[in-house]
Structure 1
Amino acid sequence: MPSTNQSVSSLMPEAKKIKPLTVLVHWSESREFTEETLYDFNEFEKKALEVAKRNPLGGYDKTKVTVTFDNEHQHECRLDLGCGGNDQGFAEHCLSTERYYRQHKGDVDKPWLYDKHHQQLIELINTYELNHSFVDLGRLQVKQVEEQAKAEEAAKEEAKQQERERAWREHQQAEEAFQETLEVPQWAKGVIIATLTDYDAEISEPYAGEFHTKTLKTIILAWSKHSRNLFPELRKACLNHPETTFLNDPEKSVEHRERFAMGEGYYLTDTKYIRYGWQIKKRNFYREDNKARYVPLGEIAISE
């Protein structure tokens, strides 16, 4: 879809084709162009195409220009140089605008196509002598750049996914080995665990409402002699490790009681905890034959 940026141009009485000669770049978000600099038209078009190809996965560089033709007619507009349906240069911008008009001029839901100024703009574009071959070649190059960039992104994501799966398998193996050597007292009914988590920006999708965390540290603080949820017990266990000692202070921690279907039950956190941070929680042993399976891989800080 062509850029919808408004173009401003003086009326041309002649119906003959006129040729663009120069482009004055007033300003640009791209470092490829210098502000208030005059470029030969063909030079500008080549540079603009290269700038557009540098944005293969979205985004664009806004560029304000004035194009002067061989009869001194001037056309001022803003180009959004980028892939994904954005502009690739002045000629491509004009041809896309005209093509969009032809494709949708019968659509009743696009009244702006019949605006007087837009009609005049289309008439003017039809008088411009533009290099269609260069535009077609540029569109082909942009398509190739887009496909290559998407393929590279897909390959990177696949590699990341494989790495995550490998890391998870290694973690599982290490945790199983840890549990096999763990000696859980016969009297223990549960274990109190401290977990430090952080926001995982790599796999989170905030625009889709998906927020994921990653575990930075796990500490086995204490065994529990009962299955009740008691915050004094959690606070006492915090004293077994220097990094969690501060959570023993009621003013520096928060008690959570999530006794609903999707809740996490009873747990203690630091005051800044929102999805991630320090969390102290008890896991009860529901099976007596293999209590170690409830204990995650972590640092043991249980006091004797």
Structure 2
Amino acid sequence: MGKVTLLFAGKSYDTDVQSVRENQIVIFDGPYNMRQRMVVAGIAHTQSGYNYRLIDPETAEEHTADLIRPLRDKFGIGHYYDDEHPEFMDAAEVAALRTRADALKAEQEAARRAAAEDAERLRTIGAERLRQIVPDDAVAVIIGEQHESECDPYTDYFGSRIVRTVILGFSTHTRDLFPEMRKAAARFEGTAHLAERNGEYEHREKYSMGHGYYLGTHRYSGWQVSKESCRDKEGIIKRFAVVAGNSDNVCIENPAPVQTTAPETVADARVEIVEYSEKSIAVFGDTKPLRDTLRDLNGLFRAYLTHDGTRCAGWIFSKRREQEVRSALAAYLK
């Protein structure tokens, strides 16, 4: 009933036989040469055999194991004990360690409950927000994700974790189009630099273990812009409700009409309109107070443009919209 066979190790073990005693030190051999010392802080016998409560003496983090093998049988990842020279921790120290572990476990559980409650609150707020702004025919979301590298070249591990997600727009199709992603990238300060048409930002990794199509300067760090397909509007709401619970994570186009009268707060803003190419014009200067107006005019923000021989930020427009742009910005022209 409690027999475990490890095929690659060529060994069988009876988990109904107790292998270690309380207060005994065991070693966990993990991946990438990770080795962790733990002490046996409790032993229980169940229908499937013995189960061991293990605690890390340094962190007080708790683990469990149902198989602890002798060190002489070491093969692969697993828990081991020294059967020739067993090592034990003082019983009083183990008792104190149990108290620390119980307190840490309670603290972690409280944090998990608080996080779950906060996520549910955000989910409710975000679902209502998305229900109002997601088009009825939307089937995909363009998002920006901030990646934090977890690469470790010494162990040959490469990866990252996502520390923030923002919604940049919605789409009525599921095709991966970089122009669409670039336009969406311009709506958020963190991804604005990816709005520049630069082949080095375009990544096509639709293969096994690839990251799909995305805009980014680095695979494992910084901001990336990509498109995520969802079934329909309700699918989008379900998938991104928690993200949208924070209004700072929703950076979509403002559908309000173009503002042609200068509000008092931007009365001092001064901009310059120049011919940027045969088919485009650019707006340079103090554009930050006017970003909503420029965005409503279907402008494309680019962090790196060239003006008067220097690199600077600006807004690009089709030359066909020049008159409309000049009319809307008439009060701010230099």
Is the pair's TM-score, using the shorter chain for normalization, greater than 0.5? no
Q: Which TM-score bucket, shorter chain as reference?
A: 0.3 to 0.5
TM-score, normalization: structure 1?
0.44
More relative contact order in 1 or in 2 (CA 8 Å, sep 6+)? 1
**Bigger helix fraction:** 1
TM-score, normalization: structure 2?
0.40
**Bigger strand fraction:** 2
